[in-house]
């Protein structure tokens, strides 16, 4: 149980850190948007436009929400892995498909029902966003999950 928790925490922290870092870089290079603005945008999903007006703690709230979401997606993959590995054997393809899946659910289901400011669909944004999630969420989560289950299998086979 301790190994499982450690794996989930490590994978979730790495995925969340990579994801927010890549989001910061993408926003800065694409439109000069600051990391604080990105974090306020995330907080606006819960708070609404007040996240952009109230200077007290909104960026920190956005960071906490971001990591909650990253840990959620890490746990979903982790617990679905025994089924998923039977369908997709390649760790690389697992990461690609999971990144696409996360992007779809976040952008088609989750974001539309939040209080975040809405913008129109842009193919370039969708491609960049999907790429970020493949690299930041899909690959590290697939990697650490696979290692955990391989080690667990080795231990079970020794018994």
Tens digits of residue pLDDT in 86-145: 999 999 999 999 999 999 999 999 999 999 988 888 999 999 999 999 999 999 999 999
Query: Rounded distance, CA 84 to CA 67, Å?
Result: 24
Q: For the chain, what are the domain ranges?
A: 2-153
* 56 has a pLDDT exceeding 90: no
DSSP 11-69: HHHHHHHHHHHHHHHHHHHHH---HHHHHHHHHHHHH-THHHH--SSHHHHHHHHHHHH
pLDDT greater than 80 at residue 159: no
């Amino acid at each position: 149980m301790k190994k499982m928790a450690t794996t989930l925490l490590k994978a979730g922290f790495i995925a969340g850190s990579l994801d927010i870092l890549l989001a910061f870089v993408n926003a800065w290079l694409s439109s000069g948007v600051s990391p604080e603005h990105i974090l306020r945008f995330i907080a606006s999903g819960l708070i609404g436009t007040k996240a952009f007006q109230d200077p007290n703690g909104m960026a920190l709230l956005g960071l906490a929400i971001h990591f909650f979401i990253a840990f959620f997606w890490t746990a979903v993959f982790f617990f679905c892995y025994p089924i998923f590995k039977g369908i997709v054997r390649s760790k690389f393809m697992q990461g690609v498909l999971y990144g696409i899946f996360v992007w779809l659910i976040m952008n088609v289901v989750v974001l539309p029902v939040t209080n975040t400011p809405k913008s129109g669909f842009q193919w370039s944004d969708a491609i960049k966003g999907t790429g970020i999630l493949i690299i930041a969420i899909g690959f590290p989560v697939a990697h650490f999950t696979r290692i955990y289950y391989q080690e667990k299998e080795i231990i079970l086979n020794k018994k």
